[in-house]
Structure 1
């Protein structure tokens, strides 16, 4: 048996071929990649998410072996002992003992709970030495996070984003001036898809990876999942896939990305994909890096006159701005972040979040798409399902669990700040400067959902009134003391105050009925 001096552990979201670990071969290093029962079950995951991670892990292990590295890849079959699932710590220590390895190297995990597991393992294990290195993926090094973020403190993404643009000289016309003269072109990123726009939406680039063996393994081990299963997985699970998807985005989707990035439709076969890159899974498991994505997209912008500054800036803002920002907010506020429930939301998640069976077309479309593809774009997550959960006061823990389970790209570091902060305002404004509450008029403005809905988007009261309308005003009235002085939304209360007492009562009564009959909507 080969004698190894070091065990290097790779998590399912640490599949970074560019990491310095792999720059040279060392016959004394063994890499460990393991499918773990606890990771597959700590929430109920979408079946496509489980397949995507396991296929990506398997493919990465094979690629390392082909490159000459020694790899121990353990499936669910191997990470059980005496019919009992093993924890991550048990698997690591077992492999180390099997190969008589006394030094273990770990990469900085992206999730707080995994970091806690690592710290407990390092404190308990005797006769072993450990080292922890950076994952070398994000633009902002882990140790730099405290320079930009303070615990329990509001940090605005826009300010952080500008600092990142300057620090890394991205889309800059000089040291301090942004290219194009403006930092942010969000006002140009809110177009609705009109009838003539639908036919021009490109077909999404999808992959066909055989997941039958993974599906069989999940069934054999009784791993519960949600969503639509398909033996041919459409998601990118190799670095080559990710690069193809990036090239496809730059050539076919980026020219209209910013323009329609907030739009929603149900009237095209490509409603689920539109102009979005769908690189988030590949990024979050590190098959591809943010620097490479930004560099390639900017080069496409520079080479293609059809791509204007509003399109590229909108995309760069998502990668360089928002993605790096939520990571910083997550780490500086954990573990306190997972306890935040500023609005004291206590209701249960409606049953149709697991089926899509609701008469509200916006919800049925967004949820149905999520169940079919393990994917929805940011406005569907924020302004459809997220907005509804906030207005109906669903417990943040249940909202977290649903988002974390259903989306292929969902890991806690990116999911929790987006859900509990941006979507649910449960952090009382650490991330969002206002709650993103909206009535049916927003859905009508940004989508074609309302035209074929059971409910009437223009009505606030009555059996056919769009539930979002009364729920919106119920939410705003209930939290008036908290929100009334907010400069971004305080003026809205003037519209409410102009209504007669009878009109107000009718709206609030409709909201009460909706809340009492939440599972019937």
Structure 2
């Protein structure tokens, strides 16, 4: 074959410097971009998540054309669209008489398996390149993990600091500490008024996508009424600059706080743009560092933000590929309760959960403490089935791709990986939520009551969780104190907690079958 090289670009690879284009020239390349049904429906994604990705793809295709590239774009509503990545690549190879296919490695295991199949299905050479947008190449992560008994993020994060030079003074961390997490645990304060996020009114391309999504995916979870995500690089950069100027200075102090109706507080809300390729994560970290070095943001805020990106994000990606495919079926605590219906409807008297589901429905977003310590904490305490919880997180959040969602849920949220990722389960009673939020004051349940119908369900569920998992968890050093407290309780008190939990759990209505897939 003497035709061009075909370069498929996926919906989370919307970066002009993507590795698959690095050695290509426009006069010898055809870029293939595909909106395929299997990607929009392999789980029933939030409407806003589908709209974000499709709109961003269409805008990126136009940017590529303006830069001189030939782009073969397959729209979801094209009559000849087969709905399959593999079929569309095969058709494009034939259509363009391509002599080879070059692609950047995908972020998800199932897509990588499909790409490997192309080697036998396509009659031409296939080249799969590393995704150089990540700071830590996967072989480097595997080397770091080899021989370690504990794969803790903190040690990996220090390596990433040294590698990037971020917040370093020679070979030492600036400020004399690697981690300023202790300064970043402020709860909500009266009158807290964070600046709003910049909004990006839909242009003609986005409006067309919103109409398509509202019609074709009308039964999917979520709302499009408040859709205002950045869908172009220019918009994402405006969102980045607004965060650095307006919210980064107080991001650290309030990053763990939760306020009813304040869906973003001082968070960046840039993860959707980062994860689909509109922002360079390392560039973002360097800009945040500049805010500290030039005196506009405190060190604890900047360190906490940078840790989320070069520490946690890179670590999670490495753990995903290290643990797959077994991570998808992990259930180390034998949790098998169905996902409750209120995760979709928000119809629960627990104000914290209702508000978090409402924010998720409105924006395809909730910040990390809402995801971990409200929605995730309940799933852990109630013993919800990990595969159903993981599907839910994958469906509902705009930044959720399996590589980032699954290890967070299976490891950080549910401890289903038997502690490979986290040193203890992130289990908490209502007291934590009361301390870090304003949810409890107007809740139908009383957070101060421990058992009974009027008591906050988190309180009894906490002890129920510890009791039913005692054989698996009692040896954890970080759980020694709560287990000692449990054993000091009278037999009647322990029975009261367990009976109160069981009574509450019987009230949970499971979600309808087929809600995710």
Shorter-chain TM band: over 0.9
2:372 to 382, 401, 425: 382
Distance in structure 1 (CA, Å) of the matches to 2:96 and 2:23? 23
Supply the distance in 2 between the matched residues of 1:79 and 1:171 (Cα, whole angstroms): 52
Structure-1 residue corresponding to 2:515: none
Structure-to-structure mapping, 1:193-342, within 5 angstroms: 193-196=188-191, 198-199=192-193, 201-210=194-203, 211-219=206-214, 221=216, 224-230=219-225, 233-266=227-260, 271-305=262-296, 307-342=297-332
Residue 221 of structure 1: CA displacement? 4.2
Give the Cα–Cα distance (whole angstroms) in 1 for the partners of residues 208 and 121 of structure 2: 36
SS in 2 for 1:94: helix
For 1:4 and 1:281, how far apart are their aligned partners in 2? 36
What is the DSSP-based 3-state SS (H/G/I as helix, E as strand, rest coil) of the residue aligned with 1:226?
coil
Q: Residue 416 of structure 1 corresponds to which residue in structure 2?
A: 406
Q: Which residue of 1 aligns with 2:93?
A: 96
Superposed, which structure 2 residues align to 1:473-484 within 5 Å?
A: 473-484=463-474
Segments of 4+ in structure 1 off by > 4 A?
150-153, 219-224
The answer to whether the aligner puts 1:145 opposite 2:141 as a matched pair is yes
Counterpart for residue 183 of structure 1: 178
**CA deviation map 1:400-447 (0-9, x unaligned):** 110001000000000001111100000010111000001000000100
Distance of 1:141 and 1:152 partners within structure 2:
18
- 8 Å Cα contact 2:3/2:99 also seen in 1: no
Cross-structure match for 2:8? 9
SS in structure 1 of the partner of residue 254 of structure 2: coil
The TM-score normalised by the length of structure 2 is 0.95
Determine if contact 2:3/2:97 at 8 Å carries over to the other structure.
yes
Q: Deviations over 1:475-499 (max 9, x none)?
A: 0011112222211111112222232
| Residues 318/155 of structure 1: CA separation in 2 closer, same or farther (3 Å cut) | same
Tell me the SS of whatever aligns to 1:45. coil
DSSP 3-state at the match of 2:30: strand
Please tell me whether the aligned partners of residues 76 and 221 of structure 1 are also in contact (alpha carbons under 8 angstroms): no
Tell me how far apart the structure 1 counterparts of residues 236 and 425 of structure 2 sit (CA, whole Å). Answer: 34
Match of 1:37 in 2: 37
> Which residue, out of 109, 114, 121, partners 1:112?
109
Superposed displacement of residue 209, structure 1: 1.8
> Aligned to 1:194, what secondary structure does the other structure show?
coil
CA–CA distance in 1 between the matches of 2:227 and 2:401? 19
For the Cα contact (< 8 Å) 2:333–2:472, is it kept in 1? no
Q: Which of 156, 161, 176 is 2:157 aligned to?
A: 161
Partners of 2:447 and 2:80 in 1: how far apart?
53
TM-superposition CA deviations, 1:285-331 (whole Å, max 9, x none): 111111110111111111124x2111111001001100000000000
Secondary structure, aligned partner of 1:259:
helix
Structure 2: runs of 5 or more not aligned: 511-517
1:116–1:287: structure 2 CA closer, same or farther, 3 Å change rule?
same
Q: 2: distance between equivalents of 1:516 and 1:208?
A: 45
Contact 1:7-1:105 at 8 Å conserved across structures: yes
Worse-superposed segment, 216-225 or 94-103: 216-225
CA contact (8 A) 2:47 2:217 kept: no
Deviations 1:331-381 (A, max 9, x none): 011111111100111111000111111100010011111001100011100
1:367 to 332, 357, 364: 357
Q: Does the 8 Å CA contact 1:193/1:260 hold for their aligned counterparts?
A: yes
Q: For 2:363 and 2:146, how far apart are their aligned partners in 1?
A: 36
Distance 1:151 1:349 in 2: 37
What is the rounded CA distance, in whole Å, between the counterparts of 2:110 and 2:75 in structure 1? 22
- Offset, 1:202: 1.1
Q: Distance in 2 between matches of 1:438 and 1:80?
A: 52
Structure 1 distance, partners of 2:485, 2:22, is 61
- Residue 174 of structure 1 and its aligned partner are, at CA, apart by 1.6
Contact between 2:35 and 2:75, CA under 8 Å: does it hold in 1? yes
Q: Contact 1:151/1:332 (CA < 8 Å) preserved in 2?
A: no
Report the CA distance shift for 1:486/1:222 in structure 2 as closer, same or farther (over 3 A). closer
Structure 2: distance between partners of 1:486 and 1:160: 22
Q: 8 Å contact 1:440–1:468 — kept in the other structure?
A: yes
Quick one: distance in 2 between partners of 1:501 and 1:342? 28
Distance in 2, Cα, partners of 1:360 & 1:421: 25
How far the C-alpha of 1:6 sits from its partner, in A, is 0.7
| Structure 1 contact 483–490 (Cα < 8 Å) conserved | no
Structure 2 residue aligned with 1:502, among 492, 496, 502? 492
Give the corresponding residue for 1:46. 46
CA distance in 2, matches of 1:441, 1:167: 39
TM-score norm. by structure 1 comes to: 0.94
| SS of corresponding position for 1:505 | helix
In the alignment, the residues of structure 2 paired with residue 364 and residue 208 of structure 1 have an alpha-carbon distance, to the nearest angstrom, of 28
